[in-house]
Amino acid sequence: MKLLTFARLLSKKLFSKREADYAGFVLAQRFASYCSSKAILGEYGKLWVEDGVFFDSYRKFEPSNPASAERKFFLRSLLSLVENLPGDTAECGVYKGAASWFICDKFRATDKTHFVFDSFEGLSAPSTVDGEYWSEGDLRSDEDVLKENLSAFPQVRVCKGWIPDSFHHARERSFCFVHIDVDLYQPTLASIEFFYPRLVEGGIILCDDYGFITCPGSRKALDEYMKDKPEKIVHVPTGQAFIIKGAG
């Protein structure tokens, strides 16, 4: 950044009430790009960052970490596509329950059951296809914290155990929305294998970690399973990917 450009932006940030926010965004964008060529902040002025209702809920789970806010917002937006469909909802890999909270909040006035699947012991042992980023036991979560976070929703059914062993709790159910966030190849594949046949027409499977270099196994699992299916995988800039079940 040229010194004169920097000075003009800094002056606007400090002294221009009308242009301060935009100038600050451009400064952050420029400095981020110097630190890493992959630090892309996108365009200024996106309306979703002004959604106070969303952020009030999000900050209950991540009070000082906005990193996954765009993914939670995208998930919440997708739910509108399935709001009139039959079937229950589910999440595989729940951590503190932020994604499940948004799912349950969307369907709080319905009779849908929300199934939560988690070992509460962290990740299982990664395989060779998962790379070297994760270790066994990473992302361990507390079952009591989860239950407290979702205590406002009586429709939640917590299924503690390893995937796919815990799936027997939902064997006889159909689903309109499934969120898969288990990071590794084997549990991702097992989750897709279980839920895809149980997904109603128009139902959605959202894979949270499909587009991250830290989760190559997740992408491999979804690609492998869907390669002979009619539905297309939609990879979005948030790092997520989803499929919408067609007529079977």
Q: How confident is the model at residue 43 (pLDDT cuts 50, 70, 90)?
A: confident
pLDDT at residue number 39: 67
pLDDT at residue 52 above 70? yes
Mean pLDDT of 14-41: 67
**Residue 210 has which token pair?**
């499909």
Between 185-195 and 216-226, two packed helices, what is the crossing angle to 10 degrees?
A: 30
pLDDT at residue number 14: 67
DSSP state letter for 196: G
Q: What is the mean pLDDT of the chain?
A: 90
**Residue 201 has which token pair?**
């027409």
pLDDT at residue 230 above 70? yes
Higher local confidence (pLDDT), 232 or 139: 232
**pTM for this one?**
0.89
Of 28, 34, 32, 27, the residue nearest 7 (C-alpha)? 27
pLDDT at residue 53 above 90? yes
pLDDT at residue number 45: 79
Question: DSSP string covering 23-91, please?
Answer: HHHHHHHHHHHHH-TT-----TT-GGGG-HHHHHHHTTT-TT--TTHHHHHHHHHHGGGSTTS-SEEEE
Q: Which helix (H) or strand (E) holds 161?
A: none
Q: What is the pLDDT of residues 177-209, one digit of tens each?
A: 999 999 999 999 999 999 999 999 999 999 999
Of 190, 174, 18, 167, the residue nearest 86 (C-alpha)? 174
- What span, in angstroms and rounded, lies between the C-alpha atoms of 186 and 180? 12
Mean pLDDT of 13-34: 65
- What span, in angstroms and rounded, lies between the C-alpha atoms of 193 and 88? 17
Q: What top-level class would CATH report for the domain 65-244?
A: alpha beta
Mean pLDDT of 114-131: 95
pLDDT at residue number 28: 65
CB 90 within 8 A of CB 205: no
Residue 228 neighbours by CB under 8 Å, 6+ apart = none
Per domain, the residue ranges of the chain are 3-35, 65-244
Q: Please tell me the total number of residues recorded for the chain in this structure.
A: 248
pLDDT at residue 20 above 80? no
pLDDT at residue number 247: 76
Q: What is the pLDDT of residues 64-107, one digit of tens each?
A: 888 899 999 999 999 999 999 999 999 999 999 999 999 999 99
Mean pLDDT of 46-53: 92
pLDDT at residue 7 above 80? no
pLDDT at residue number 65: 83
